[in-house]
Copies of this chain bind each other. A is one copy, B any other.
């Protein structure tokens, strides 16, 4: 069995250190560009005082939620910090570094999320105001996209700065410390994704069920007590959650590349994965600045053009970088094992092709997701047409679109992994190539974050315009158009996010193997001593691991969907109560208590995120300590495979339903108010928790589970090899993990399905 270890004693030359420092400077420059963009956005006009009042309510609600969320998560972060400190480590420096940078990763994730929320709650009103001005279309689009640009710049800037810092300070021990950094980023992002996702969709679904369905008032009507909560939700879910998520993807992919890089490319392996995203920073700046819609051009076309231009520039520059920084033979690499030095092939060529694979993958997924969720293509048109035969056919056709697009996306991602893997016959280099393909994807993250943030900002802008009634005519038309563009960009970025997740997870899968092999080597145990270790893939216990991994993805999705319906039920209850107890609300003479609904959303989301969060962290611990390292490998494989398909299925079926509704609202098949419209509203409501809660949360889920596995692998192997007492400890840990999971699930089941509990009240009040 071939084994490659991390170069623990690795030293960087002076020139190399200078290069890493230069990368850190580029990262800081990205932050500076972000600040310049931020000033530009804030300088724009804020519209009428009514619009500002609404914006203020949204700002306060969103800030209140995030502050409370951070306080709750703070406790969890401290617990994990302590546990992390207790896990086996090489020396105290590594132990401290790992725990410390766990905090840094979590902190950065939180900062990005908070910034995304803070800015988008300020940009929304400015976009709405800009739409009223002359040349409003260009101005509004510019503000919305540059808001995204700010978040994009901070995402890549903080991610790259953190990684460069770790490499500068820890050099040879950097990979271990980076595990902590990536874990912190992924863990916080997952909680923000789940919590924000539940908040936004509970408010959205709850608002629609009472407003649109029961009372027949339009979306974003100010008489609906849940409208402010709905707008708050867009910001804490789509902005804060997604920004933290993409930051986490960025950080974890970098971490995986740096872990695998030293084993494959020696010192250069610590450098090249930093150079590629540094190039991405430059092209992201270009991408953000060149985005402006030409007259009469669809906003999406302009955004796509920027994406493709910056992707091509990235590909060219990365290829040049590969041939400049890397030698043309493995023998020319410093600090690699003899086996690697003897590997045939050209490292520069392998690296360049791997990065290009990643960039091309981003482009293909952009196109594929656009095809399956865009209003101008066949799939969404067909879903729209099925609205004529009722809601059941809308649901079925949307599910078919979701299944189909998931298959193609998974095959494309699988193809990219396989392509990168084929670049070298040596497993270690092949794994690094997969990680480098991930780095290639990263070069597009700046623009992707900008695209994503564009969605909720324009959605909110339309909401504020509608609620205030101060934007009409052409201005309203512009905002509707931007909102539709935002729907598609949101779907696309989800596709890219899951692609980065799979590449990062595959690379981490390799790190997991390294962690096991290293530990076995240190313990001086022959690999074959671990029962059936060499025969893993065929063993029924590994297959059981694969089944459990797939099951956890289903469980997590089910919990997320359930949390939304339950929280939405509470909103329905509250909005109905306000309508009933205060008839003035319906007449428009009394303002509803928006704050109460925001409070309920806040409380419920935070309560609901505990169970899926615990499941993500504890399930790999239960499988690893309970069944062993082989089944845990199977578990990760099952979770990655099913997670990929489920995430894309949920995101794209939801996206297709959303845009099918838009199609009908644009006057097709009977238009607004028709039976066909009612059918697509049902589809859209089903799609809400799919695409904005369960689907996107699977992405950080996969990485959290992989990182937990990498971190606990040495401990599992240690316990497995040790006899007697250590077996007791091992199984005790597994049992405790299972007990906590079961308790969490039982507690959340106890809450019942609130939506189901409210009707008794409904029938008496109706």
| Residues of A bordering B, CB below 8 Å | 1-2, 205, 209, 213, 382, 385-386, 388-393, 395-397, 399-400, 403-404, 406-407, 410-411, 413-415, 417-418, 420-421, 425, 427, 430-431, 434, 502, 506, 509-510, 512-513, 531-532, 534-544, 546-552, 554-555, 557-558, 561-562, 564-565, 569, 572, 627, 630, 633-634, 637-638, 640-642, 644-645, 649, 669, 681-682, 685-686, 689, 752-753, 755-759, 762-763
Contacts and interface: CB of A to CB of B under 8 A. Distances in A.
Contacts of A541: 418, 421
Contacts of A638: 546, 637-638, 641-642
A640 B431 contact: no
A762 B756 CA distance: 36
Nearest to A516: B538
A550 B392 contact: no
Contacts of A756: 382, 385-386, 397
A175 to B, nearest CB: 17
A115 to B, nearest CB: 33
A417 B544 contact: yes
A554 B558 CA distance: 17
Nearest to A387: B759
Specify the main secondary structure of chain A where it touches its partner. Answer: helix
B540 A537 contact: no
B537 A542 contact: yes
Most buried by B among A406, A558, A669: A558
Most buried by B among A205, A555, A627: A555
B551 A407 contact: yes
Contacts of A510: 538, 540
A549 B509 contact: no
B538 A512 contact: yes
Given A541-B418, A543-B509, A548 B411 contact: yes
Most buried by B among A382, A549, A642: A642
25 contacts: A209-B390, A213-B390, A382-B753, A392-B681, A395-B395, A403-B561, A407-B554, A410-B550, A413-B547, A414-B548, A417-B543, A417-B547, A421-B541, A421-B544, A434-B540, A502-B547, A510-B540, A538-B633, A543-B637, A543-B640, A546-B640, A547-B645, A550-B641, A550-B642, A642-B642
A755 B386 contact: yes
A382 to B, nearest CB: 5
A644 B543 CA distance: 12
Nearest to A384: B756
B755 A397 contact: yes
A508 to B, nearest CB: 11
A371 to B, nearest CB: 13
A752 B383 CA distance: 12
A540 B421 contact: yes
A681 B682 CA distance: 14
B686 A554 contact: no
Given A209-B389, A389-B758, A686-B395, A537 B637 contact: yes
A682 B395 contact: yes
Given A389-B209, A755-B389, A756-B386, A546 B546 contact: yes
Contacts of A406: 551, 554
Given A390-B685, A546-B641, 18 more contacts: A213-B390, A382-B752, A388-B759, A395-B682, A396-B689, A400-B558, A403-B554, A410-B554, A415-B544, A417-B543, A418-B541, A418-B544, A420-B540, A427-B532, A431-B540, A543-B641, A546-B546, A551-B645
Contact of A547 (B414, B427, B762): B414
**Chain copies in the assembled complex:** 2
Which 10 A-B residue pairings sit nearest by Cβ, starting from the closest? Answer: A403-B558, A392-B685, A388-B759, A536-B537, A513-B538, A550-B641, A385-B756, A537-B537, A546-B641, A414-B547
Nearest to A558: B403
A205 B759 CA distance: 29
A407 B558 contact: yes
B403 A557 contact: yes
Contacts of A551: 406-407, 410-411, 414, 641, 645
Nearest to A630: B537
Contacts of A561: 396, 399-400, 403
Contacts of A403: 554-555, 557-558, 561
Contacts of A209: 389-390, 392-393
Contacts of A569: 389
Contacts of A385: 753, 756-757, 759
A686 B394 CA distance: 9
A37 to B, nearest CB: 38
Nearest to A648: B554
A649 B752 CA distance: 20
A404 B547 contact: no
A278 to B, nearest CB: 26
Contacts of A420: 540
A535 B410 contact: no
Nearest to A393: B755
Nearest to A502: B547
A552 B541 CA distance: 23
Contacts of A562: 400, 404
Contacts of A552: 407
Nearest to A643: B550
A758 B547 CA distance: 41
Contacts of A390: 209, 213, 682, 685
A712 to B, nearest CB: 16
A418 to B, nearest CB: 5
Contacts of A759: 385, 388-389, 669
Nearest to A631: B418
Most buried by B among A506, A562, A762: A562
Given A540-B431, A642-B641, A547 B397 contact: no
Nearest to A536: B537
A506 B540 contact: yes
A621 to B, nearest CB: 16
Most buried by B among A205, A512, A564, A756: A756
A115 B557 CA distance: 42
A572 B536 CA distance: 52
Nearest to A627: B418
Nearest to A208: B392
Contacts of A543: 417, 506, 509, 637, 640-641
